[in-house]
Amino acid sequence: MDSKALTKIQSAALIAIIVVAAVGGGASYVWWRASLPPPEDIRIGICADIDMTTGKGAYRGAELAAEEINAGGGILGRNVTIVAEDNDAESGGDLAVAVNSITRLITVDKADYVIIAAGNVQVMQDVCAEHRKILFSVYSINIEDTQRVLDNYGKYKYFFRIWQPNSTSTMALYIDSLLTLRNYTGFSKVAFLVEDRASVSDMATELERILSDLQFEIVYHAAMPSSVTDFTSYLAAIEESGAEILYPISLGQPGTSLVKEYYDRQSPFVLWGQVNMATDFDFWNITDGKCESITVNGNAITAGYALTSKTLPTRDAFLERWGTMPRGVSVSAYDLVRFILPDAIRRAGTTETEAVIKALETTNVETSMARHFVFTSSHDVMVGEAGPTTPGADHVLIPMIQWQNGTQVIVYPEKIMKEAGATYVYPHWQGSWSK
C-alpha cells in the first residue's frame, strides 16, 4: 500500500473518530441541558383582601392572565406564578396587617412584582421602595400617590398606577360627561347625593364649584350614610328642588336601594352619576329591571363594546374561567399581567428591576381597556382627554353606560356612542323631558 493510499485511510479514520466524538458530545450536551432545572418562575404577588369583592377580582384577573401567558410559552421562557397575601384592607384591617402582608410577599413568597388592590398605598410604596420592588396599584385614585414619583423619583420610581384614574382625571371626566348630558337634554339643574366619605365629599364640593362656573345650577346637595336603605326623604327633597339631573356618588350597597326607589317613585329627573353597584353585569336581575334608563360610570367590557381587539376576548375568557363578568379592578389586574408587564419585560430583555422600570416608562401597548396604554411622567395611568370635541378614546377610558332593555349601552363619550350605534333614552314615565 503506498503512502498516498495510507493517507486516505488515515483521513477516513480520523473523520470517523471526529463524527463519533461530535455525536457523543452532542448527546451529552442534550442530556446535560435536559438535566438542568427549569428557569425559575416570574412571581407576581397580590396584596389584597382576597375574600372580598375587590381583592378577589384582582386575584382572578391576574390568575387568568398568568394561565394564558404560560400556555403561550411564558415570558422570556419563564412561567408566571401568582402568589397572594391577605392584607384585610376591605374588612377594616389595621395598618400592621397590611405592612406584614406585603413584607411577606417580598421576603417569604419571593414576589418579583407586587400588585395592591386596596389599602394605604403610600405605606405600601414605602415598603416596596425599601426592598426595591416594583409596585402596581389597580384600585386607587389619590393623586398624591403618583405625585411622590415626581417629588422623589429615586425613592418612589418603583410605583405605577394601572387603575383607577386619579381624582383630577376622574373630576374632568365627571364634568365633561355632564356637559355632554346637557348637550343631549338641555338640562342644567343638578342635585348631588353623595356617600358620606371624606374623599367623596371633597370631590363633590369641588365638582359643584366648577359646574357653577359652567352655568349649571346646583339645586340640592346631601350626604348619605353608607348604611342607608330608605331614600324616601332624599328623593322627595330632590323632587321639591326642581332638579332635572340627579348625580349620585355611591360606592357601596346604598346604590341598589337608591335605584329601585328612584324607579318606583318615577322621579321626574334623570339619574346620571357614579353608582358602583350598577356596573355589575347582573344588576338588571338584582333590581328586577328597575335600573332601566339610569346612566352610570361603567366599562367597555361589561357593555360588550369592542373598544380594542382585546376587549371582548378578555370578557369571554373571564366568563369561561370564572363564570362571571369582570369588574374594572379585575380587568386592570388582568391587563397588567397579560399585556403591560410582559411587554415591558420583553422589551427590557430581562426582569432586572431598573431595566423594567425604564421599559414601563415607555409603555405603549394595546390592552382590554385602552387602544394605547401609556404611563404619564408620574407613573400614573394616562386617561383619554376629556372634552366634547376630543373624547380621547385612545387611552384608558371611563365611559358612561345606560341600562336599556336589560343591557348596558355606552352613551358617553358621544363619539363612542355613535360608533356603537346607540342613543341616549329617557325614562318611560313623565318628567322634565316631557315638557
- Give how far Cα 14 sits from Cα of 20, 25, 140, 153, 417, Å: 10, 16, 72, 64, 78
Residue with the three cell numbers 375574600: 51
Cβ distance 79 to 118 under 8 Å? no
What pLDDT shows up at residue 120? 86
CB-based burial label for 33 (10 Å; 0-12, 13-18, 19+): exposed
Which is nearest to 307 in space by CA: 225, 375, 176, 401? 401
What pLDDT shows up at residue 3? 44
Which is nearest to 376 in space by CA: 173, 227, 121, 162? 162
What pLDDT shows up at residue 391? 44
Neighbours of 154 (CB within 10 A): 6
CATH number, domain 42-139+308-361, options 3.40.50.261, 3.40.50.2300, 3.40.190.10, 3.30.565.10: 3.40.50.2300
Domain locations in the chain as residue ranges: 1-32, 42-139+308-361, 168-305+386-434
List pLDDT tens digits, range 215-250. 999 999 999 998 899 999 999 999 999 999 999 998
Same fold flag, 42-139+308-361 and 168-305+386-434: yes
What pLDDT shows up at residue 389? 41
The dihedral region occupied by 73, where left means phi > 0, alpha psi between -120 and 50, and beta the remainder, is left
**What distance in Å separates the CA atoms of residue 135 and residue 211, rounded to the nearest whole number?**
36
**What distance in Å separates the CA atoms of residue 412 and residue 423, rounded to the nearest whole number?**
10
Which residues are CB-neighbours of 108 under 8 A, at least 6 positions away?
Answer: none
CB-based burial label for 282 (10 Å; 0-12, 13-18, 19+): exposed
Stated as kind and residue range, the H or E segment containing 316 is helix 311-322
What pLDDT shows up at residue 396? 85
Residue 394 per-residue DSSP state: T
Along the chain (435 residues), what's the average pLDDT of each consecutive run of 10 residues?
46 50 48 57 92 87 98 97 83 76 95 91 95 94 93 98 87 92 97 85 86 96 91 97 96 89 98 91 94 94 90 96 90 97 98 97 96 95 63 75 96 90 96 91
What pLDDT shows up at residue 430? 96
What pLDDT shows up at residue 38? 62
What pLDDT shows up at residue 401? 95
CATH class of domain segment(s) 168-305+386-434: alpha beta
What pLDDT shows up at residue 138? 93
What pLDDT shows up at residue 153? 98
- Give how far Cα 63 sits from Cα of 60, 84, 117, 308, Å: 5, 10, 14, 22
What pLDDT shows up at residue 289? 97
